[in-house]
Structure 1
Amino acid sequence: MEKRKTYILDTNVLLQDPEAIFGFKENDVIIPAAVVEELDGKKRLQDELGRSARQASRLLDGLREKGFLHEGVPLPEGGNLRVELNHRDIAGFPEAFSTSGADNRILSVAFNLKRDEEERGDEGQPVIIVSNDVIVRIKADVLGIEAEEYRRDRVTENQERYMGFKEITLPAALIDCLYQDLVIDIEEIGLKSSCWYPNEFAILKDELGSSRSAVGQVSPDGRKLDLIPPATQPVWGVTPRNVQQKMALRLLLDDEIPLVTICGKAGTGKTLLTLASALHKTMDDQRYKKILVSKPVVPMGRDMGALPGELGEKLRPWMQPIYDNLEFLLGAKSDMMKDILEEYGTIQVEALSYIRGRSIPKQFIIIDEAQNLSKHEIKTIVSRVGEHSKIIVMGDPQQIDAPYLDETNNGLVYLVEKFKDQEIAGHVVLTKGERSRLAQLAADLL
């Protein structure tokens, strides 16, 4: 039987996942008083950090019904939670680490608890500090305290990430059959239907190495493979330049797939393909009333502060990539820009801050830079989608500017993993940059 452990949680863990206190099974969980103070300082923020601080505070308050927090209360899976005040005894604690700071006070709690457990000998429990702050983990190592990064909220490991397509080799005869019949049974070509997700793509290549190849799409029920025609008609002057862009365009133009997620590095064509498809579906097919575009307002580098003007003027710098792509699509028709944005209202740019409580029917919704959204925020956004609307959520999981988010726990990868087995959703990762050779090298090397 594995020995019971004592986990000490840093503030950033609770700000990242307020329910982390329930994630350590039958082990003991310690919340230092400094963490409670830091939560109190964050609770009034009107953002995701404030929401997490308030939720963590409510969970701790609910546990008070089971006993006194400073004495310890039982957790659902057999563990115990305690709010610890023991940071004042600094005997043996390095003078270089002043206990005036919250991080060092948290470390001093771990230091004292570790010393107490060591005095118990074989009956003592291992003490582990859990923090997403690299410096805290380094300091813990200096103090001889075991430290871990919080991993419970990770959606998936990088090597397991769903790509939206697979590359397989087959006899050339089976590839010819797909071209002839346009659709083929997955089981008939020796593949297990259980290994495929709805609307996933298959890149078929000749097992003998010839140039014969094909691209197919799995049917919503996961049993058939439909041929994607080699030639693709331009959409608002945009023709896919590689096979992944072709897959993305097919998902974007399919009215039976209301949720499409697209991941890719800078320059892979995410925004251009999506905007071209949106204009085609809205202005040409009139399938949707208008296009709604939004993105999280998270600055890269130093924030410029409050911007002057009305809401539209404030959002203009954040939405400039949309305007750049729109100018490219319109080309010689650049005089239509004002009509599309203002007079006809075809494209509406909005801040995500005002989306809560809305219902958005019959619109083509584009959420860009979604890697900077939390799980809670992505749920709030997707649950606003009304009848006959389509939502495109895209971003680059490797370019995250929001605090407490990384490649494994952000809202974009969370949405992809939760919806990959749903018939109404489709996903593809764009792997090849098409902006320029320099942009592709920068995305790969830097």
Structure 2
Amino acid sequence: MKKVFLLDTNVLLHDPEAMRRFQDNDVVLPITVIEELDRFKKQPDMVGRNARHTSRLLDELRRTGNLTEGIPVSPAGGTLKVVLCHRETLQKLPVELEGDKGDNAILAVGLELKQHCQCPVILVSKDTNLRIKADALALAAEDYETDKVDVEELYSGACELSTTPDQIDQFYAHKTLDLPEAVYPHQAVTLVDVTKPDHTAISIADSRGQSLQALTRQPKEGILHIRPRNREQAFALELLLDDAVPLVTLEGKAGTGKTLLAIAAGLHQVINEKHYTRLLISRPIVPMGRDLGYLPGDIGEKLSPWMQPLYDNFDLIFGTTDSTNKPAHWRRGHEELMERGLLQIEPLTYIRGRSIPKQFLIIDEAQNLTPHEVKTILTRAGEGTKIVLTGDVDQIDSPYLDAASNGISYVVERFKTDPLGGHMTLIKGERSLLAERAATLL
């Protein structure tokens, strides 16, 4: 049955193309949404960009018809309409919801549509509280789930296959093994002897997922004094050092070594192997808790508090806290590399419009990005560039994202069958015993 979907402002700020994604159903925008978009459009971040994109799209649609009567926006027959909020309906809201607040105007429009429409009316919002208010008013409400993935079934990047003893012996002898059934491209596979479960072999699938290859490095062989401490870290390092995999996603709880392994692999590829001209690291500026406001100083001084977690990893890699017996150019750590143009650290704010060729690009804390923002980043990749996304879906600071709708989960699910992508979920914390226990218990 055809439905009427009433969109909240935050849905369009999350995905400017949302109004076109409801197939043959009708989409309604309250006039207060247009007013709120106007307030956001001057912001310099991705939210402001999405607000401007939505406004331009609405202006283009306006030229093709009358927005108050309905304009086709989907080949399946869906329409878009902008409606006014009548003061009489707004005054009928409960006393607790009186006033000119935007959320109240959206609720009033929803109740009016429900009264006059023969079709089901559904409010779509990423605001949990607004959905609760709508439910209290007997107005159907749901989250925007077009770009959501099933968290319970999220691809881990690894699996186990039961094999015969002869197959494992054959794999150790020839370093390769053909598979009777295909797995995902670049998937980490542990071969387990059906007759003796402790007789195993670790391998990684080729780009077609039809055969297994031995890891190019021994499980405990590291780079820049950083060695993998568990099987998942060994698999992750294999993907990070494989030039045939231009997109790598690393997901895992705090302390599992995601950022450290990515930075170590990037430095190794830039300094030692010289496969890339520069290591470029960026992360979204999303505070945990209350923001401190404007920070004094130039761009480097402003970024320093946000990028300090990255500097901590550089100190660990270069051993700059203990420079004994270290080469002279290592003693200053990342500062020396930045002066030589081999390392660049910048916020994601300035990445739009760039073309990034032959660089090792790390996007840290990618769980705080929307799917649209991740798409913007990936489309910056030039020829010969490798992109690594790291994140923890249990540590999301953005109010309108969750484990199912954030950027890194979206990329993992979309690229799991693509030969250009590789993924690994890191499970065991290696930062310290206390950090591992806290991540598990708290």
TM-score, normalised on structure 2? 0.91
In the other structure, the counterpart of 1:100 is 100
| Aligned-partner residue type, residue 112 of structure 1 | E
1:207 maps onto 2:194 in alignment: yes
Which residue of 1 is the match for residue 418 of structure 2? 422
Shift in alpha-carbon separation, 1:258–1:71, aligned structure 2, 3 A: closer
- How many angstroms does 1:230 deviate by? 5.2
CA-to-aligned-CA distance 1:174-201 (integer Å, 9 cap, x gap): 22221122101112xxxx12xx222111
SS of the residue aligned with 2:251? strand
Alignment of 1:291-302 (within 5 A): 291-302=279-290
RMSD: 2.1
Partner of 2:213: 226
Question: Residues 138-172 of structure 1, C-alpha deviation per residue, up to 9 Å, x if partnerless?
Answer: 11122111111111122x21022121111222223
Alignment of 1:17-36 (within 5 A): 17-36=15-34
**CA drift at 1:207:** 2.4
Rounded Cα–Cα distance in structure 2 between residues aligned with 1:341 and 1:291: 9
Is the 2:334–2:343 Cα contact (8 Å) retained in structure 1? no
What is aligned with 1:274?
A: 262
CA-CA distance at 1:267 after TM superposition: 0.2
Call closer, same or farther: CA 1:36–1:432 in 2, change over 3 Å: same
Per-residue deviation, residues 264-323 of structure 1 (Å, max 9, x unmatched) = 111000111122222222222233333222111111111112222221222111111121
Asked if the contact 1:290/1:363 (under 8 Å) is kept, the reply is yes
Q: Describe the SS at the equivalent of 2:161.
A: strand
Q: Post-superposition shift, 1:324?
A: 0.9
Q: How does 1:42-81 map to 2 (within 5 A)?
A: 42-76=40-74, 77-81=76-80
Unaligned ranges ≥5, structure 1: 118-123
What is aligned with 2:171?
A: 178
CA distance in 2, matches of 1:376, 1:142: 32
Query: What is the Cα deviation at residue 377 of structure 1?
Result: 2.7
Instruction: Give the corresponding residue for 2:82.
Output: 83
Q: Shift of residue 338 of structure 1?
A: 6.2
Q: What pairs with 1:313-324 in structure 2 (closer than 5 Å)?
A: 313-324=301-312
Matched with 2:162 is 169
The question of whether the paired residues in 2 share the 8 Å contact of 1:39 and 1:57 is answered with: yes
Secondary structure at the residue paired with 1:37? helix
Please show how residues 11-410 of structure 1 align to structure 2 within 5 Å: 11-76=9-74, 77-90=76-89, 92-117=92-117, 124-154=118-148, 156-187=149-180, 192-193=181-182, 196-228=183-215, 231-331=219-319, 332=323, 333=326, 335-337=331-333, 340-410=336-406
Assess, with a 3 A threshold, how the Cα gap between structure 1 residues 302 and 94 changes in structure 2: closer, same or farther.
Answer: same
Whole-Å separation in 1 of the counterparts to 2:60 and 2:136: 36
**Identical-pair percentage:** 48
CA distance in 1, matches of 2:338, 2:109: 59
Q: Quick check: 1:292–1:365 contact (8 Å CA) kept in 2?
A: yes
SS at match of 1:366: strand
Alpha-carbon contact 1:258-1:391 (below 8 Å) kept = yes
Which residue identity lines up with residue 94 of structure 1 in the other structure? P
Amino acid paired to 2:279: I
Runs (4+) of structure 1 exceeding 4 A deviation are: none
Cα distance, 1:327 vs structure 2: 1.2
Structure 2: distance between partners of 1:132 and 1:67: 29
Q: Is 1:443 matched with 2:439?
A: yes
Given residue 106 of structure 2, which amino acid in structure 1 is its aligned partner? I
User: How many angstroms does 1:211 deviate by?
Assistant: 0.9
Total equivalences in the alignment? 431
Q: Measure, in 1, the Cα distance between the counterparts of 2:50 and 2:335.
A: 42
**Cα gap change, 1:153/1:437 in structure 2, threshold over 3 Å: closer, same or farther?**
same
1:431 and 2:427 aligned: yes
Asked if 2 retains the 8 angstrom alpha-carbon contact of 1:312 and 1:349, the reply is: no
- Name the SS of the counterpart of 1:204 in structure 2: strand
* CA distance in 1: counterparts of 2:286 and 2:146, whole angstroms: 25
Residues 235 and 276, structure 1, Cα contact 8 Å, conserved in 2: yes
The 1:381–1:75 alpha-carbon spacing in structure 2 relative to 1, beyond 3 Å, is closer
Q: Does the 8 Å CA contact 1:218/1:224 hold for their aligned counterparts?
A: yes
**Quick check: 2:246–2:421 contact (8 Å CA) kept in 1?**
yes
